[in-house]
């Protein structure tokens, strides 16, 4: 198998390959279809509401405004993915859970006190002659002082102590992309975990970004090498219990 001329990398693609090259192959190389996951769809709904909340003037960005968005945004999601209706057996419970996550958001930030400069911002960079790096940032705020913070919302729980660095990788890639495009080092990276009302914050340094760049280049080399050899070893872990491809994966079928 020949290597792709240009490798498209994003933080999620990097994590996928690092977690399990076989899973990366199923998703990226073979492009096998996967049914929607309820957790991912709930995440999409909550992200949509937190995105649209900032359409309102600052003073109106209250919990009630956000909750009022729920029915229409959920209907739009159902229109786009009709299969979802059959997957959600108890719609009230589903919407209650989404509402609870939204209410948690307001315990962690007060959106009436700042402006979201960018939401769902696409950052991209021709990272190397054969690597295109990109990602979508949930929110990027530029303060009047010019300081930049990058925010990502998670509907799950915060990582256990000792795992924060791994969780921050995604935001460091965004910081690197922003730095390469604007020559501004973001002041703050912030992960907001709505599952347990926690945040993980970090102020990146230039050496953090250099280390992130090295990781990206190493992973890109590994992907090129795997592609050339058509070698995608499965890497069994507790993630297998959530993996849609478990019933065809050689680690579980041989
Ligand atoms: S079942 Fe486990 S080892 Fe197999 S592809 Fe999925 S994550 Fe990888």
The 10s digit of each residue's pLDDT in 167-210 is 999 999 999 999 999 999 999 999 999 999 999 999 999 999 99
CB 233 within 8 A of CB 195: no
Predicted structure pTM score: 0.93
In sequence order, which residues have a C-beta less than 8 Å from that of residue 203 and are 6 or more positions away?
187, 188, 189
> Residue 234 C-alpha to ligand 1 middle, in angstroms?
6
Q: Does 249 contact ligand 1 (Cβ within 6 A)?
A: yes
In angstroms, the CA 147 to CA 131 distance is: 29
> In testing the pocket of ligand 1, which one of 15, 22, 25 has its CB within 8 Å of the most ligand atoms?
22
Residue 20 near ligand 1, beta carbon < 6 Å: yes
| pLDDT tens, residue by residue, 108-147 | 999 999 999 999 999 999 888 899 999 999 999 999 999 9
Measure Cα distances from 39 to 42, 100, 161, 210, 225 in Å. 5, 14, 23, 33, 33
Is the Cβ–Cβ distance between 119 and 54 less than 8 Å? Answer: yes
pLDDT at 3: 58
Contact between 200 and 159 under an 8 Å Cβ cutoff? The reply is: yes
């Amino acid at each position: 198998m020949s290597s792709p001329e240009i490798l498209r990398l994003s933080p999620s693609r990097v994590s996928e390959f690092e977690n399990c090259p076989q899973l990366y192959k199923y998703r990226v190389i073979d492009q096998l279809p996967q049914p929607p996951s309820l957790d991912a769809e709930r995440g999409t709904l909550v992200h949509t509401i937190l995105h649209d909340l900032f359409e309102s003037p600052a003073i109106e960005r209250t919990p009630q405004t956000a909750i009022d968005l729920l029915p229409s945004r959920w209907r739009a999601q159902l229109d786009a993915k009709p299969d979802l209706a059959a997957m959600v057996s108890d719609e009230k419970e589903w919407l209650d859970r989404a509402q609870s996550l939204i209410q948690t958001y307001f315990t962690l930030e007060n959106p009436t006190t700042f402006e979201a400069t960018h939401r769902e911002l696409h950052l991209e960079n021709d990272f190397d002659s054969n690597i295109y790096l990109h990602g979508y940032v949930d929110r990027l705020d530029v303060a009047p002082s010019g300081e930049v913070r990058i925010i990502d919302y998670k509907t799950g729980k915060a990582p256990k102590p000792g795992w924060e660095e791994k969780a921050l990788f995604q935001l460091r890639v965004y910081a690197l992309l922003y730095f390469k495009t604007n020559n501004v080092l973001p002041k703050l990276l912030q992960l907001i975990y709505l599952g347990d009302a926690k945040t993980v914050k970090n102020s990146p340094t230039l050496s953090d970004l250099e280390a992130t760049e090295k990781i990206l280049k190493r992973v890109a080399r590994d992907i090129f090498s795997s592609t050339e050899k058509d070698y995608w070893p499965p890497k069994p872990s507790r993630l297998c219990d959530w993996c849609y491809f478990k019933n065809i994966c050689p680690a579980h079928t041989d």
